[in-house]
Amino acid sequence: MRIGSLTVTSIIDGEISIPTEGVWAGHSNEEWGEFSPLLCHLTGNPVQTVGSFLIEGIADRLVLVDAGLGNNPTFPFSGGALRSSLLALGVHPDDITDVVFTHLHLDHIGWASLGGKPFFRNATYRCDSRDWNHFMAAEYELPEWEPFLSKPEFDAPQVRLAPIADRMEFWEGDGEVFAGLEALDAAGHTPGTTVLQVGDSRESGLIIGDLVHGYTELLSDDWALGAHIDSPAAIEAIEKFRGVLFDTGVPFAASHFPGMRWGRFVTDAVDHHRYEQLPV
Ligand SMILES: [Zn+2]
């Protein structure tokens, strides 16, 4: 995806396969309408992709937004392909100058470190300080579901992130991360969940991370995700960005839309909003 002078590439690490009702209570696999071809053709479950966005063109930086699940994920997470996906593009982990986390859930920090060492050896790692303070607090306890869907001895935030603690730099809320990348406060899914605005003076796009997990959440509050740390705040954040996405038609990409494809909303004369994918 070209955004102004920048190139943003979706880097696939793996997938999550959970039936619709396991993600959005009260809904089913039958409700995806024109987007049903994007469901898994065998299980009928939504395909929720996991990975990173590679940003090229910001000065001499090579930026990775989020870091996937890691090399050995647990069902219903699958994958571990991030390293190979980068190498397929000719990018070595040592080439990455900045790793920017939208938040610190396990499916966004998996390749932060490997075997107790920073995986991106030349990178500065960055996130909202509220997420770091939450997930790295001594009293932090994993949510109930996490030990069943992960290997905490590898995947827990305090294991994954301890090796990069001395490479961290932080922002809090709204503000410039560095020229070309702006943090927009979207707290709720986690305490420091961030939407990232990427672009130059000509054009910008939004990497909305886990603000929502499917386009339906943007169209209706009825599609509420069960897994927010602070649901009222998360719904408020969604409402804030709905305004931007609907009114401006800005291109955006979410962490878990199928294939991590970019899309936008088109609004018709009667104020009906329709999601459409953009060409790769
Ligand atoms: Zn996620």
Question: Average per-residue pLDDT in the chain?
Answer: 94
Q: Range of 127's domain?
A: 2-277
Indicate if the pLDDT at residue 269 is higher than 90. no
For the chain, how many structural domains are there in total? 1
Q: How far is the CA of 66 from the centre of ligand 1 (A)?
A: 9
Indicate if the pLDDT at residue 37 is higher than 90. no
Q: How far is the CA of 37 from the centre of ligand 1 (A)?
A: 22
Tell me the percentage of the chain whose pLDDT exceeds 90.
80
Q: How far is the CA of 51 from the centre of ligand 1 (A)?
A: 9
Q: What is the pLDDT of residue 132?
A: 98
Q: What is the pLDDT of residue 140?
A: 95
Q: How far is the CA of 115 from the centre of ligand 1 (A)?
A: 22
In this prediction, residue 246 has a pLDDT band, given cuts at 50, 70 and 90, of very high
Q: How far is the CA of 201 from the centre of ligand 1 (A)?
A: 29
pLDDT digits (tens, 9 = 90+) for 59-72: 999 999 999 999 99
Q: How far is the CA of 90 from the centre of ligand 1 (A)?
A: 26
Selected residue with higher pLDDT from 227 and 117: 117
pLDDT digits (tens, 9 = 90+) for 152-187: 999 999 999 999 999 999 999 999 999 999 999 999
Indicate if the pLDDT at residue 221 is higher than 90. no
Q: How far is the CA of 22 from the centre of ligand 1 (A)?
A: 15
Report the 10 Å Cβ neighbour count for 47.
16
Q: What is the pLDDT of residue 86?
A: 98
For residues 214-220, give the mean pLDDT: 88
What is the Cα 259 distance to its own chain's centre?
A: 12
Q: What is the pLDDT of residue 225?
A: 81
Q: What is the pLDDT of residue 173?
A: 97
Say which CATH number the domain at 229 has.
3.60.15.10
CA separation (Å) from 45 to 20, 37, 181, 271, 274? Answer: 6, 11, 34, 30, 22
Q: How far is the CA of 185 from the centre of ligand 1 (A)?
A: 17
Q: What is the pLDDT of residue 50?
A: 97
Q: What is the pLDDT of residue 31?
A: 86
Q: How far is the CA of 269 from the centre of ligand 1 (A)?
A: 34
Indicate if the pLDDT at residue 123 is higher than 80. yes
Q: What is the pLDDT of residue 25?
A: 86
Q: What is the pLDDT of residue 268?
A: 85
Q: What is the pLDDT of residue 63?
A: 98
Indicate if the pLDDT at residue 226 is higher than 80. no
Q: How far is the CA of 271 from the centre of ligand 1 (A)?
A: 30
Q: What is the pLDDT of residue 144?
A: 87
Using CA atoms, how far apart are residues 264 and 278, in angstroms rounded to an integer? 7
Q: What is the pLDDT of residue 16?
A: 92
Q: How far is the CA of 214 from the centre of ligand 1 (A)?
A: 11
Indicate if the pLDDT at residue 271 is higher than 90. no
